[in-house]
């Protein structure tokens, strides 16, 4: 009898004895996974974009300082500041540029006296301490603070990046729950067949493996579809936003390819593991 059951199981291994191609044949699960893959791709790109933007702002803020100097004695003060270690250059800001900055607030005021502003570029961010110390010894010199605007911008960028990772975590949880529901629906549709095969001697790992392979494939297929929709959309967004935010043309390296290309693999793994665990838990309750 045992030999007969073993022979029957060997014959069934190459087929679909559970009828999963019919029980799990709909496109609802792949479509939902595609939608979640699209959201995940957008969250990944948003996280990388926010991180790159924050790094650029931090680098720009750390590499440039404006110093206001009194008009009298401008030359000696400028020579002293430019000779400090770690200072790459110290360039007076032209009056025309200052008036351009002030025009939106003050309008055309040709007779308005303007302070002497010096734009200092740092080769080493640690030179800021030396600049502030030297400016304190120059009467009338003022080092312009970067202000709350830069701090707020960095806080927003880091907040967007953190929110993107939270969204990714939520997507993973929703995908896991969705696969678990789909697996239970497949179990409910094929419960009698599963019970009969279990009584004939089918191993729990074989039955769970069939569900895992089917659900893993459907999730991978859905993620591939979502990724195919996401890539051109993300490139269009990057091509429009990066020249404004980063002051340069968009490049292919601006997209998080390592994360985008791993989405189908991650989706398939989630489907495979979740289905296997769900079926295994149900089979352990059988007599």
| Range of 93-97, 171-175, 202-206, 242-246 with top mean pLDDT | 171-175
Question: Given pLDDT bands bounded at 50, 70 and 90, which one contains residue 224?
Answer: very high
Q: Is 165 helix (H, G, I), strand (E, B) or coil?
A: helix
Question: Given pLDDT bands bounded at 50, 70 and 90, which one contains residue 148?
Answer: low
Contacts of 243 (CB under 8 A, 6+ apart): 249, 250
Lowest-confidence region among 63-72, 74-83, 130-139, 238-247:
238-247
| Range of 7-21, 119-133, 211-225 with top mean pLDDT | 211-225
Measured CA to CA, the distance from residue 249 to residue 50 in angstroms comes to: 17
Angstrom distances, CA of residue 42 to CA of 31, 35, 38, 163, 165: 17, 11, 6, 12, 11
Is residue 7 over pLDDT 60? no
Lowest-confidence region among 105-109, 174-178, 199-203:
105-109
Mean pLDDT (the chain) is 77
* Torsion over CA: 82, 88, 89, 90 (sign): negative
Question: Given pLDDT bands bounded at 50, 70 and 90, which one contains residue 26?
Answer: low
Measured CA to CA, the distance from residue 178 to residue 28 in angstroms comes to: 11
- What pLDDT score was predicted for residue 265? 94
pLDDT digits (tens, 9 = 90+) for 59-79: 666 567 778 887 777 788 878
Question: Given pLDDT bands bounded at 50, 70 and 90, which one contains residue 230?
Answer: very high
Helix (H) or strand (E) holding 173: helix 147-189
pLDDT digits (tens, 9 = 90+) for 74-100: 788 878 888 888 777 778 888 777 777
Once rounded to an integer, what is the mean pLDDT over residues 40-53? 85
Contacts of residues 144-153 at CB distance under 8 Å and 24 or more positions apart, as own/partner, are 144/65, 144/66, 144/67, 144/68, 146/61, 150/57, 150/61, 153/57
147-189 and 257-283 helices, crossing angle to 10° = 40
Once rounded to an integer, what is the mean pLDDT over residues 240-266? 79
The three state secondary structure string of 198-257 is HHCCCCHHHHHHHHHHHHHHHHHHHHHHHHHHHHHHHHHHHHHHHHHHCCCCCCHHHCCH
| Range of 31-40, 79-88, 104-113, 230-239 with top mean pLDDT | 31-40
pLDDT digits (tens, 9 = 90+) for 149-194: 566 777 777 888 899 999 999 999 999 998 888 888 877 777 777 7
């Amino acid at each position: 009898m045992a030999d007969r059951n073993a022979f029957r199981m060997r014959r069934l291994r190459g087929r679909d004895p559970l009828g999963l191609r019919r029980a799990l044949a709909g496109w609802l699960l792949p479509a939902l996974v595609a939608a979640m893959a699209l959201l995940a791709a957008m969250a990944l790109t948003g996280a990388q974009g926010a991180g790159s933007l924050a790094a650029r702002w931090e680098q720009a803020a750390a590499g440039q300082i404006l110093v206001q100097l009194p008009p009298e004695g401008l030359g000696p003060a400028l020579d002293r500041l430019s000779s400090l270690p770690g200072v790459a250059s110290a360039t007076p800001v032209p009056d025309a540029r200052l008036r351009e900055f002030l025009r939106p607030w003050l309008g055309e005021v040709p007779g308005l006296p303007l302070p002497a502003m010096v734009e200092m570029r740092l080769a080493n961010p640690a030179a800021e301490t030396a600049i502030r110390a030297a400016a304190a010894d120059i009467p009338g010199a003022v080092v312009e603070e970067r202000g709350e605007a830069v701090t707020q911008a960095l806080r927003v960028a880091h907040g967007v990046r953190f929110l993107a990772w939270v969204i990714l975590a939520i997507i993973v949880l929703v995908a896991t729950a969705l696969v678990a529901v789909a697996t239970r629906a497949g179990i409910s549709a094929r419960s009698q067949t599963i019970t009969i095969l279990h009584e004939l001697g089918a191993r729990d790992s074989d039955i769970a493996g069939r569900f895992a392979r089917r659900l893993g494939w459907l999730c991978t297929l859905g993620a591939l579809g979502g990724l195919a929709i996401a890539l051109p959309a993300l490139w269009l967004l990057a091509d429009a936003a990066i020249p404004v935010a980063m002051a340069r043309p968009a490049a292919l390296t601006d997209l998080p390819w390592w994360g985008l290309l791993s989405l189908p693999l991650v989706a398939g793994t989630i489907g495979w593991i979740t289905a296997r665990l769900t079926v295994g838990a149900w089979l352990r309750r059988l007599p």
